[in-house]
Homo-oligomer: A and B are copies of this chain.
Amino acid sequence: MRFYEDLSVGDTRHSDDYQITKSEIVEFGEKYDPQPFHTDEQAAAGSTFGGLVASGWQTAAICMRLHVESSEDTATQVGLGIDDLRWHRPLRPGNSLRLRTEILNKRTSESDSSRGIVTTGHEGLNQDDDLVISYEATAMVQRWDGGE
């Protein structure tokens, strides 16, 4: 298990690929982002996107899944916030998403000596290596020595 002390600025990880289906896009859209370009194939064809695209929040949620899967060896991480999230291009049915993360900053918590605070850059890339989404995530990570 990796703790705060085991993480270094510059550490990079690559996830597996996640291929999104049309039905997943529509299901998420109907539940959380009911705009026609996420839920209705015909209406989407006439929209600014020219076809169905995944909700930007679904793209982010898939990145979360890929991050959890590629950091299973890291102690409990509790998300504090997200900065500079940008949606660069849409994710369409059949497209793949993979995640590249890099640790950008780490510091000990001032309010809780058992935790460290780590900021990680996230880039979600499609099957053509084009950038789909990017953001910086800040999370609390358990310290191995509990701050003793």
**Copies per complex of this chain:** 2
With a cutoff of 8 Å between Cβ atoms, the chain B residues found around residue A68 in the complex are 33-35
Tell yes or no: A56 within 8 A of B by CB.
Answer: yes
Tell yes or no: A65 within 8 A of B by CB.
Answer: yes
Judging by beta carbons under 8 Å apart, are A81 and B85 in contact? yes
Most chain B Cβ neighbours within 10 Å, of A33, A60, A61, A80: A61
Count A-side interface residues using an 8 Å CB cutoff. 31
Tell yes or no: A146 within 8 A of B by CB.
Answer: no
Residue from B31, B76, B81 within 8 A of A84 (CB atoms): B81
With a cutoff of 8 Å between Cβ atoms, the chain B residues found around residue A31 in the complex are 61, 65
- A-side interface residues toward B, CB under 8 Å? 28, 31-35, 47-48, 55-58, 60-62, 64-65, 68-69, 76, 78-87, 135
A-B contact pairs, 7 of them (CB 8 A): A48-B78, A57-B61, A80-B87, A81-B84, A81-B87, A83-B84, A83-B85
